[in-house]
Amino acid sequence: MAERKLFDAHDERHEIPAAVPDAVLDQAIHWVMLMQSGTAGEREREACRRWRAQHDDHELAWQRLAGLCGDVQRGTAGTPAPLARRVLASGARVSGRRKAVKLMLGTAGAGVLSWAAVRHLDLGVTTLMADYSTGVGGRERILLPDGSQLVLNTDSAVAIDFNAQQRVLQLLRGELLLETASDAQARPMLVNAGDMAIRPLGTRFAVRRFSAADVRVAVREGAVELRHRQLPGQQLVQAGEQGASGKAGWVAKRRLEDICDSWERGMLVVERMPLGAFVDELSRYRHGVLRCDPAVAALQISGAFPLADTDAVLAAVTAVLPISVRRITPYWVTLAAA
């Protein structure tokens, strides 16, 4: 596995240079950026703590990068914004941003991108490392270089790395739908999402990343093989099934639900879903806070709801359930008993 020094040997602030695998550096960049973004919740913080504890390399990369970012924020290191722009603009579309981030955070002797410059460029935390991304409520259809069809759901980001040996997609956040094409160079396809590696076997499937440890795969056509870096063996998921892993091991496969199919068409289709889970799902498609009072969270709802207008969805829900919509502001909404 390729390795690189996190910092230049002559950098007096970091006297002991250390080589870490590229994959660990990728993960460390993700966690440091997420933790310093102000958007991380307790689930993300706990996942970061678990990642740091998994291996000495993880903790070393974390400490070095977190310390460097602190230096940058204090103004003791940095690259002017114009230079930062040139670095971000350089390189191929497929992997230029990701390589630029690793370069700028990984070589202090050559100059480090200041955190202020990143924010000034208005790049999101994982979006900075992504080749394609969508905003809240957005959806994008992408034709990949090999002819595969990729669709990103709301608030999602993906990095693409196609080379002479393989085709790799990394789901950084959110949800994707992939319909694989036959590759003229016979390169294998791999989708990485958190701790999960997904190998499609001529297929059409969706991947949703809740966190690095919680990734779920829904297969519409063909089959996929799931591998997890902390679990033995693999799970084969066939058309019409969903696969996932948990702390105790592989989760038993389930039948494909309507909710896994409908978002591509701009719909949220549910059958007897608890209102609390429905609100959690709907909140992915709107800005602000949307919550459900625990007193009504167990009520069940069924139907097909258009995601383009979430306020209309809330009005439709109040028409069929004994609940009301309480708004503190347009961006803070609670469903409670009528």
Statement to judge: residues 145 and 165 lie in one domain: yes
Round the average pLDDT of the chain to a whole number and report it: 77
Q: Which of 101, 128, 155 is the last residue of a domain?
A: 128
pLDDT for 212 equals 78
pLDDT for 124 equals 45
Decide if pLDDT at 88 tops 60: no
Decide if pLDDT at 248 tops 90: no
Decide if pLDDT at 239 tops 50: yes
Tokens of 276: 């609390």
Decide if pLDDT at 295 tops 60: yes
Decide if pLDDT at 109 tops 50: no
119: three-class secondary structure by DSSP: helix
Interstrand relation of 157-162 and 204-211 (parallel, antiparallel or unpaired): unpaired
Tokens of 102: 């690793």
Statement to judge: residues 325 and 288 lie in one domain: yes
Statement to judge: residues 78 and 105 lie in one domain: yes
- Please tell me the distance from the alpha carbon of residue 262 to that of residue 269, in angstroms, as a whole number: 6
How many domains would you assign to the chain? 3
The interaxial angle of helices 275-283 and 310-320, nearest 10 deg, is 170
Closest by CA to 102, choosing from 92, 88, 89, 116, is 88
- What is the domain range of residue 317? 260-337
100 in Cβ contact with 110 (< 8 Å): no
132 in Cβ contact with 140 (< 8 Å): yes
The interaxial angle of helices 81-89 and 96-106, nearest 10 deg, is 140
pLDDT in tens, 303-334: 999 999 999 999 999 999 999 999 988 889 99
Between 33 and 327, the higher pLDDT residue: 327
Statement to judge: residues 217 and 251 lie in one domain: yes
Statement to judge: residues 239 and 307 lie in one domain: no
DSSP tag of 139? -
Confidence class for position 197, pLDDT limits 50, 70, 90: very high
Statement to judge: residues 26 and 121 lie in one domain: yes
- Please tell me the distance from the alpha carbon of residue 112 to that of residue 102, in angstroms, as a whole number: 10
276 in Cβ contact with 335 (< 8 Å): no
Q: Which of 71-85, 95-109, 187-201, 297-311 has the lowest mean pLDDT?
A: 71-85
Strand partners, 192: 170, 197
Q: How many other CB atoms are there within 10 angstroms of residue 163's CB atom?
A: 10
pLDDT for 307 equals 94
At residue 144's C-alpha, the angle toward residues 187 and 105, to 5°, is 85
The interaxial angle of helices 22-35 and 42-54, nearest 10 deg, is 150
Statement to judge: residues 17 and 74 lie in one domain: yes
Decide if pLDDT at 37 tops 70: no
- Please tell me the distance from the alpha carbon of residue 34 to that of residue 26, in angstroms, as a whole number: 12
Q: How many other CB atoms are there within 10 angstroms of residue 296's CB atom?
A: 20
pLDDT in tens, 212-230: 788 999 999 999 999 988 8
φ and ψ at 295, to 5 degrees?
Answer: -65, -25
- Please tell me the distance from the alpha carbon of residue 211 to that of residue 233, in angstroms, as a whole number: 21
33 in Cβ contact with 73 (< 8 Å): no
Tokens of 337: 């008993």
328: three-class secondary structure by DSSP: strand
Q: What is the mean pLDDT of residues 229-256?
A: 87
- Please tell me the distance from the alpha carbon of residue 131 to that of residue 285, in angstroms, as a whole number: 21
CATH code: domain of residue 303: 3.55.50.30
Statement to judge: residues 12 and 108 lie in one domain: yes
pLDDT in tens, 148-164: 999 999 999 999 999 88
Q: CB neighbours of 211 closer than 8 A, spacing ≥ 6?
A: 43, 44, 47, 194
Statement to judge: residues 206 and 159 lie in one domain: yes
Q: Which of 104, 128, 152 is the last residue of a domain?
A: 128
CATH code: domain of residue 186: 2.60.120.1440
Q: Which of 73, 94, 128 is the last residue of a domain?
A: 128
Could you tell me the pTM of the whole model?
Answer: 0.64
